[in-house]
């Protein structure tokens, strides 16, 4: 059976078409205005950032040839033709890489412990007093907003050069970030168990331990693992300011133009980050899988 498409009478159609065109025109105008504003902002930014397209065009060749150079050994051969020569310092670099991972691990764990201690005060539904919540929240915000490397710069002066400054910087930044995420998990927790435990006359601490914690602990672990992964990246640059890890070696190699060393260290960093990504992803799957089963 053929179905006829019903067409409205001309007069009615004209009104509808008109309204449609107006709506589209309004949308287009808004879009064009937004785009124009954005372009103006870009132009101002380009002047502010001293962008010079001529420099880019002149030097873009340098960027490409830089990668050409870092993948070339001193004798002119490609790096992958001679792995022994390319990774000549692998023992030293591997040790530094291990230190980087350790910095990230210890920093994340200390940060997670502090975040754990503070997050119940920051969450809206479990905080014992509003003034306490306000203070803890501002504190976490501060720890999160100041970049980790700025803390590292200051700590290097206070605690001396070395990985300790890096660990503490990462720990503070992680406390801020994890504290907020942990508090958000707690805010999403079911409050009925809390009421149940509190109704038995339990103290605030017992309420948190027996009613909130069982609900949130898997989420905590997941966020902490994710943070560990982020922190490995962060720890790889802590050496730039003297706070330990592989960054120290990298910055020396870049500044002194040891080209093949730069690529070797970068390859090692990228490979490590890959492995950690995959490892924590697998671990998080396991943890959540276990939660789902019980």
Partner 1 sequence: MNLTTAADRDGLRARYPDIFNRPASARLATPAMLLIAVGILVFGLVDLEFSPTRLAAGLHQLGWITLMMLPPDPGASLPLYLKALGETLSIALLGTTLAAVTALPVSLLAARNIVRSNVLRFPVRRFLDSIRGIDTLIWALVWINVVGLGPFAGVLAIAVSDFGAFGKLFSEAIEAADQKQVEGIRASGGSALHEIRFGLMPQVLPVIAGQVLYFIESNTRSATIIGIVGAGGIGLQLAEQIRVLEWQKVSFLILMILIAVAAIDWISGRLRFAIIGRRAIA
- Chain contacts with partner 1 (rule: CB under 8 A): 41-42, 44-52, 55-56, 59, 62-63, 66, 99, 102-103, 105-106, 109, 142, 145-147, 149-150, 153-155, 157-160, 162-164, 167, 233-234, 236-237, 240-241, 244, 250-251, 254, 266, 269-270, 273-274
Give 43 or 132: the residue with its C-beta nearer to partner 1.
43
Give 189 or 204: the residue with its C-beta nearer to partner 1.
189
Write down the least CB distance from residue 76 to partner 1, Å: 20
Give 198 or 254: the residue with its C-beta nearer to partner 1.
254
Under DSSP, is residue 262 helix (H, G, I), strand (E, B) or coil?
helix
Between vectors from CA 125 to CA 121 and to CA 131, what angle results, nearest 5°?
45
Write down the least CB distance from residue 264 to partner 1, Å: 14
Give 5 or 49: the residue with its C-beta nearer to partner 1.
49
Say which DSSP state 203 is in. -
Write down the least CB distance from residue 65 to partner 1, Å: 9
Q: Are 85 and 205 in contact (CB under 8 A)?
A: no
Burial class of 286 by CB neighbour count within 10 A (0 to 12, 13 to 18, 19+): exposed
Closest C-alpha among 248, 224, 253, 228 to residue 238: 248
Give 107 or 120: the residue with its C-beta nearer to partner 1.
107
DSSP characters over 15-53 = HHHHHHHHHHHHHHHHHHHHHHHHHHHHHHHHHHTT--H
Write down the least CB distance from residue 63 to partner 1, Å: 5
Write down the least CB distance from residue 192 to partner 1, Å: 20
Taking the alpha carbons of 155, 156, 161, 165 in that order, is the dihedral positive or negative?
positive
């Amino acid at each position: 059976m053929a179905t006829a498409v019903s067409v409205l009478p001309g007069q009615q159609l004209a009104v509808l078409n008109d309204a449609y065109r107006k709506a589209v025109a309004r949308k287009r105008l808004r879009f064009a205005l937004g785009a124009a504003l954005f372009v103006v902002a870009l132009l101002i930014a380009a002047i502010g950032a001293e962008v010079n397209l001529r420099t880019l065009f002149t030097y873009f060749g340098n960027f490409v040839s830089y990668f050409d150079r870092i993948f070339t050994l001193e004798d002119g051969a490609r790096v992958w033709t001679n792995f022994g020569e390319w990774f000549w310092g692998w023992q030293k670099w591997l040790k530094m890489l291990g230190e980087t991972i350790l910095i990230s691990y210890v920093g994340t764990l200390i940060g997670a412990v502090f975040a754990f201690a503070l997050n119940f005060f920051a969450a809206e539904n479990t905080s014992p007093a509003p003034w306490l919540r306000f203070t803890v929240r501002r504190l976490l915000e501060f720890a999160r907003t100041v970049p980790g490397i700025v803390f590292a710069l200051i700590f290097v002066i206070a605690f001396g050069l070395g990985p300790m400054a890096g660990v503490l910087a990462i720990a503070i930044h992680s406390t801020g970030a994890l504290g907020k995420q942990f508090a958000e998990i707690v805010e999403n927790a079911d409050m009925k168990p809390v009421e149940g435990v509190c109704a038995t006359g339990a103290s605030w601490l017992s309420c948190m331990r027996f009613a909130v914690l069982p609900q949130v602990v898997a989420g905590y672990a997941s966020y902490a693992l994710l943070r560990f992964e982020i922190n490995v990246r962060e720890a790889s640059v802590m050496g730039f300011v003297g706070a330990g890890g592989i960054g120290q070696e990298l910055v020396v190699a870049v500044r002194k133009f040891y080209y093949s060393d730069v690529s070797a260290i970068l390859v090692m960093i990228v490979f490590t980050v890959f492995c950690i990504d995959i490892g924590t992803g697998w671990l998080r799957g396991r943890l959540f899988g276990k939660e789902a089963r019980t």
